[in-house]
Amino acid sequence: MIKDLIVVTGGAGFIGSNLVEQLGERGRLAVVIDDFATPDKWANVRHANIHDLVNWTEAFDWLDRNADRVAEVFHLGAISSTTASDLKALLAQNVHFSNAVWDWCAARGKPLVYASSAATYGDGSRGFADAMTLGELEKLAPLNPYGWSKHLVDLHVLRCAAAGAKQPPAWYGVKFFNVYGPREHHKGDMRSVALKFYEKVKAGGQVELFRSYRPDVADGMQSRDFIHVGDTVDVLLWLMAQRPPSGIYNVGTGRAEAFLEIAKAVIAETRMKAAVRFIDMPEAIRERYQYFTQADMSKLRSVGYNAPFRAVAEGVADYVRALSASGH
């Protein structure tokens, strides 16, 4: 019987499929739990190290039957659209399913890494520090239902820990900032701006950036902490391998860079002439738009993670080369 299986929920998605690939590089077999209702993730499940594919609605049946074979769980599966508005679906897939994965890992004694999001920080007025206490975390106000769904899970986890309830032997909530890189084509409108800009430039079009509606921020200088998916996966694997103190950890670069810099990096690497044009921001998102995100990475660094993170110029260049090599 094959044991030491690594369960990756969302393993057919963007970050998850890159994680599965890297597990294969380390000789580990993965069980991918995902939503297989549509065929658009087919390209992401062709890794030779996939031991089994399980639809998310059958996840706990599989987990209960194979509990003795599971070594670790990476829970990355969720509705990932920041514009999602179906609260029933968000509750079912992002909140209740995630809480159930936590409870299962706690009951079965399985180490767990689960995906949170920088969207939980809301407008950033309370900072982007992952060392928040439960009381400080309770004061965060996410700007959209997606961020709220991730925030509810973080609260559930920290309340369990504070109450002394049974926990997984090691657990890590990872607050992803703006991740970009290979295997995100299936994400539709939620594709990274790096990919969207690349597609525009390759098609001979203009790169469009939102105008700013704040006097202290110039057009195109709205900034995010952009992190390459390869760097993201390195953090996930390090956490599970090194087992620092359990808790919530930011996964970003610690460096905010402007959308305009992403556009410049894409244009420079494609070596194509393309103009940047500023367009109106949709009124529906103007009041809840994040103008700045920057991960505080001091907590992860303090527990021993010392690998560098790619800046936008390097990471986007790497991504554009990968896209060109793959025929996109």
Same domain, 146 and 45: yes
Same domain, 213 and 242: no
- Which among 100, 98, 125, 133 is positioned nearest to 114, based on CA atoms? 98
Cα(103)–Cα(157) distance, integer angstroms = 10
Work out how many domains the chain is built from and give that number: 2
Same domain, 230 and 218: no
- Asked if residue 56 lies in contact with residue 37, where contact means CB atoms within 8 angstroms, the answer is no
Same domain, 153 and 11: yes
Same domain, 110 and 132: yes
Same domain, 51 and 34: yes
Confidence (pLDDT) at 79 = 86
- From 121, 146, 198, 319, the catalytic residue: 146
Same domain, 86 and 214: no
- Asked if residue 240 lies in contact with residue 294, where contact means CB atoms within 8 angstroms, the answer is no
Domain with residue 321: its CATH number is 3.90.25.10
Confidence (pLDDT) at 41 = 85
For 145, the domain range is 5-178+226-255+298-302
- From 187, 196, 200, 202, the catalytic residue: 187
Confidence (pLDDT) at 77 = 94
Side chain identity at residue 184, one-letter code: E
Cα(267)–Cα(201) distance, integer angstroms = 7
Query: Could you confirm whether 180 is annotated as catalytic?
Result: no
Cα(162)–Cα(138) distance, integer angstroms = 13
Same domain, 143 and 200: no
* Residues contacting 32, CB < 8 A, separation 6+: 8, 11, 12, 16, 20, 45, 50, 52, 53, 54
Confidence (pLDDT) at 138 = 95
Same domain, 117 and 245: yes
CA angle 135, 129, 107 (to 5 degrees): 60
Confidence (pLDDT) at 189 = 85
Query: Could you confirm whether 187 is annotated as catalytic?
Result: yes
* Residues contacting 65, CB < 8 A, separation 6+: none
Confidence (pLDDT) at 225 = 97
Residue pLDDT, tens place only, 87-145: 999 999 999 999 999 999 999 999 999 999 999 999 888 999 999 899 999 999 998 99
Domain with residue 159: its CATH number is 3.40.50.720
Cα(275)–Cα(272) distance, integer angstroms = 10
The sheet carrying 5-9 orders its strands as: 50-55, 30-34, 5-9, 70-75, 112-117, 171-176, 247-251
Same domain, 191 and 316: yes
Same domain, 147 and 198: no
Confidence (pLDDT) at 290 = 84
- Chunk the chain into consecutive blocks of 10 residues (it has 328) and report each block's average pLDDT, rounded to whole numbers: 92 96 97 89 90 96 97 94 88 96 98 97 91 93 94 97 96 97 90 94 92 95 97 98 97 97 94 91 86 96 97 96 85
Same domain, 170 and 218: no
Confidence (pLDDT) at 83 = 81
Instruction: Dig out the tokens for 55 from the structure.
Output: 């639809």
Q: pTM score, two decimals?
A: 0.95
Confidence (pLDDT) at 38 = 79
DSSP conformation letters of 93-125? IIIIHHHHHHHHHHHHT--EEEEEEGGGGTTST
Residue 176, number of CB atoms within 10 A of its CB? 24
